[in-house]
């Protein structure tokens, strides 16, 4: 009997967007590299860094195969003529409304006509914050003075007192709370209240061009498994967050924030990847269309299981 071709066992390199240092997704690279080394799979992620604002451009140009997409942003990409699909897990929405600890604000309604800093309009964080707020009778464009910028710039505005609140994400939320700020609302709770859906609000996951996905379903399935394993590890052992605090942008001496992140962060990593999870992502799209945030949606679901 002749030997099987060696090429059948060759590693398959997949070019994957490297999450920004200091972001919640930064923990994936070390955890997935470890998981990939310990499994018998043949997929090996090649991490490609760069300007986060250009990652989708890189993906559509073929410079990377896989990048992070939120469902609303993915649909907007599709409506512009670039067919993409989310096929692997990522993060539960972790947007928070944060105010100073000594402020009089107790709810988002109290902040009407006040200055709020948040991420750019093209970010999924802002898109979903706007959607969830609209389900509770608030219009981020009309009811507030919104200032857009990257999380670090928004942090500076908040700490200087130039804005009354921030809608921000981890690990910045926990950093602010550890310094005495207050979390008055969470976007995922607003979504739950507005929709009655008990399943967590899906912020985003790993996606790619649909042509690539259709031609590489087994690769996509194996890559999804690596993200599932990484997220499950964090849920099973929250102290991994403390071990990986440097990739989250935290200094060794920032113990208050590290200890808080160990309590707050594990729940945002989605350890499940199933039709039920995909349905939440696709529901976000349906609600965004109904709310007028999206002008339409593609014929096929934006989120699929490989």
Task: Tell me the three-class secondary structure of 130-174, residue by residue.
Answer: HHHHHCCCCCHHHHCEEEECCHHHHHHHHHHCCCCEEEECCCHHH
- Flag whether pLDDT at 109 surpasses 90: yes
The pLDDT of 258-281, averaged and rounded, is 95
Instruction: Name the residue with tokens 């031609």.
Output: 215
DSSP state of 283: H
Residue 280 or residue 34, greater confidence: 280
Give yes or no for a contact between 230 and 88, defined as CB atoms under 8 angstroms apart. Answer: no
Contacts of 230 (CB under 8 A, 6+ apart): 27, 28, 31, 32, 35, 269
Q: How confident is the model at residue 160 (pLDDT cuts 50, 70, 90)?
A: very high
pLDDT per residue over 110-146, tens digit each?
999 999 999 999 999 999 999 999 999 999 999 999 9
Residue 227: count of CB within 10 angstroms of its CB: 26
pLDDT, the chain, mean: 92
The candidate with the shortest Cα–Cα distance to 68, out of 95, 86, 53, is 86
What pLDDT does 10 receive? 56
* pLDDT > 90 fraction of the chain, expressed in percent and rounded: 84
Residue 153 or residue 37, greater confidence: 153
- Flag whether pLDDT at 40 surpasses 80: no
The pLDDT of 43-60, averaged and rounded, is 79
- Flag whether pLDDT at 8 surpasses 60: no
In the sheet that 84-92 helps form, which strands lie side by side, from edge to edge?
A: 67-69, 202-209, 84-92
Contacts of 22 (CB under 8 A, 6+ apart): 171, 247, 248, 249
Give yes or no for a contact between 182 and 98, defined as CB atoms under 8 angstroms apart. Answer: yes
DSSP state of 49: -
The pLDDT of 264-275, averaged and rounded, is 94
Q: Is the pTM of this model over 0.85?
A: yes
């Amino acid at each position: 009997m002749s030997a099987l071709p060696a090429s059948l066992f060759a590693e398959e390199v997949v070019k994957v967007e490297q999450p920004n240092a200091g972001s919640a997704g930064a923990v994936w690279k070390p955890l997935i590299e470890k998981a990939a080394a310990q499994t018998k799979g043949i997929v090996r992620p090649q991490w490609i860094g760069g300007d986060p604002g250009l990652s989708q451009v890189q993906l559509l140009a073929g410079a990377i195969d896989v990048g992070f997409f939120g469902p609303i942003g993915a649909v907007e990409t599709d409506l512009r003529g670039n067919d993409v699909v989310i096929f692997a897990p990522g993060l539960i929405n972790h947007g928070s409304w944060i105010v100073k600890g000594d402020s009089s604000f107790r709810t988002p309604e109290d902040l009407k006509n006040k200055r709020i800093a948040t991420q750019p309009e093209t970010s999924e964080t802002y898109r979903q914050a706007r959607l969830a707020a609209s389900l509770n009778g608030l219009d981020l464009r009309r009811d507030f003075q919104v200032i857009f910028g990257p999380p670090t710039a928004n942090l500076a505005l908040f700490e200087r007192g130039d804005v009354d609140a921030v809608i921000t994400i981890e690990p910045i939320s926990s950093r602010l709370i550890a310094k005495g700020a207050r979390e008055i609302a969470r976007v995922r709770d607003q979504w739950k209240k507005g929709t009655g859906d008990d399943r967590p609000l899906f912020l985003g996951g790993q996606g790619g061009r649909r042509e690539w996905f259709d031609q590489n379903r087994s690769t996509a399935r194996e890559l999804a498994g690596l993200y599932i394993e990484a997220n499950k590890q964090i849920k099973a052992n929250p102290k991994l967050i403390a071990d990986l605090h440097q990739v989250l942008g935290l200094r060794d001496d920032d113990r208050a924030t590290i200890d808080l992140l160990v309590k707050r962060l594990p729940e945002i990593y989605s350890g499940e990847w199933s039709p039920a999870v995909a349905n939440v992502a696709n529901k976000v799209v349906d609600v965004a269309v109904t709310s007028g945030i999206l002008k339409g949606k593609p014929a096929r679901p934006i989120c699929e299981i490989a």
